Amino acid sequence: MMNTLLIRDSFEGEDMARLRKEFPQFKIITLDEGETVHKLGMEACSQIEIMYGCALSEAELNFLPQLHWIHCDSPYLDDLCMDAIRKLGSVLITTTKEENLIQVGEFAIGAALAFSKKLFDWEIESRNPEHIDLLELRKQMWKIQGKIFLQIGLGTIGKEISRRAKMEGFRVWGMQKIASFHPECEKCLTPDRLPEALPQADIVCLAMPREEPGPSWFDKEKFSLMKNDSVLLVFGSGSAVNLDDLAEAEKKGKFRGILLDAHFSPPIPKNYPLWNRPYVIVTNESSIYPTTFEHRSFNTFLYNLRQYLHGNFSDMKNLIKTKSV
C-alpha cells in the first residue's frame, strides 16, 4: 500500500510533475481551498503520511492517524492546531522562511535614516511652506556617526539589519541570549543588561523569531527606560511588544518615530490609535517584498522530503521544535 502525500495548496504544473517523477513511491492527492480532509473519506485519510499546507484543525488531525510530517508553506503556524500537535508528539513541523534578507535590511535602514533626518516632519511642514521653520527642523536632524543602534535579536534578520546599520556608520550594539563576539556589533549584550542599554540607545530594533511567538515582554517598563526622541523598529514576531503600553508611551511624545513591520496575531485592529499617529508607520510585513515566495516553499519542501525519506530528520530545514518524535 502506497503512503499518501496530501497537497492542500496549489502547485504549478511543472512543480507537480517534478514531484511525481522524483517521488513515485507516494500517492499524491489534493484538496481545493476551503475543503476539509473529511471529504477524502476515512480510508484515504488513514494513509496520509505527509501534508503540504498551512492549515489543519484539531478535528482534521484526529482524522489522520498516520500523519507524521507537515510542511507549512509560510513562516506562520496560526492556522495549524499546534497545541494538539504538540500534545500528540509524533508530527514533525517544517516551515518556509519568508526572510528576503536584503530587502528587510534595506527597509529597516531606510526607516532609521528617514526618522534620523526628520523626513516625515519635513513632509508635514512642507504642506504649509509659509509657516515652515527651516532652522528648527535642521537643528533636529541627526548626524548618524556616534548614534547607538541597539539590535535586540541577532538571528538572520537581526544580523542583516546590524550589518546595514554598521555600514551606515551607527554604533551597533547587539543583544542575544549568549554574549559572544559578533562581527557586526561593537558590543554584544545579554538580556539581563537591557535596563542599562535602553537609556543609551538612539534606535532600538526588535527582530524576534516569527515562528516562536511569546509573551509581550517589551512593555511599559522598557518604554520608560528608552531615551526621549528615540526610534523603535519592530520586525519578526510582534507578540514581543505590548501594543497598549506602546500606544500610551507614543501618545506622551516619547518617540521620534516608530516602525511596525512585524507579524501580529491577531492583526492590529483598524481603529487602533497607532494607525493615526503622525510618526508611526505600520507596514504589515512589507519589508520582505518583492519576493519569490511560492517557488522557495516548493524547493524547501523537496529538500526536506529527501531528508525525510532517509530518516535525516535533524537535517530538515526550518524544523519547528515540538515534542521529540
Q: How confident is the model at residue 167 (pLDDT cuts 50, 70, 90)?
A: very high
Tens of pLDDT, residue by residue over 201-210, are 999 999 998 7
What is the reported pTM? 0.70
By the 8 A CB rule, do 204 and 195 touch? no
Residue 321 lies in a domain: no
Give yes or no for residue 177 having a pLDDT over 80: yes
**Does residue 255 fall inside a structural domain?**
yes
165 and 300 within one domain: no
Q: Residue 64: is its pLDDT beyond 80?
A: yes
- Buried-state track 76-92, b at ≥16 Cβ within 10 A, e below 16: bbeebbbebbeebeebb
Summarised one tens digit per residue, pLDDT across range 103-112 is 999 999 999 9
CA distance 155 to 264: 19
What residues contact 81, with CB distance under 8 A and at least 6 apart?
A: 56, 57, 58, 60, 61
- Give pLDDT, residue 325: 40
What pLDDT score was predicted for residue 32? Answer: 85
> If pLDDT is split at 50, 70 and 90, which confidence band does 76 have?
confident
Q: Residue 287: inside a domain, yes or no?
A: no
- 43-63: average pLDDT: 94
CATH number of the CATH domain containing 165: 3.40.50.720
Same domain, 185 and 40: no
- Residues of the chain with pLDDT > 90, as a percent, come to 66
Q: Domain total for the chain? A: 2
pLDDT of residue 311: 93
Residues 41, 178, single domain; the answer is no
Contact 230, 150 (CB under 8 A): no
Residue 14's identity, in one-letter code, is E
Give me the domain span that covers residue 210.
101-282
What pLDDT score was predicted for residue 323? 53
Cα separations in angstroms, 167 against 117, 122, 144, 163, 184: 17, 25, 11, 6, 9
Q: Is 107 found in the same domain as 147?
A: yes
Residues 226 and 137 in one domain: yes
Instruction: pLDDT band for 228, please (50, 70, 90 cuts).
Output: very high
Rounded mean pLDDT of the chain? 90
Q: What is the pLDDT of residue 118?
A: 92
254-303 pLDDT per residue, tens: 999 999 999 898 889 989 999 989 899 999 889 988 765 556 788 889 99
Residue 195 lies in a domain: yes
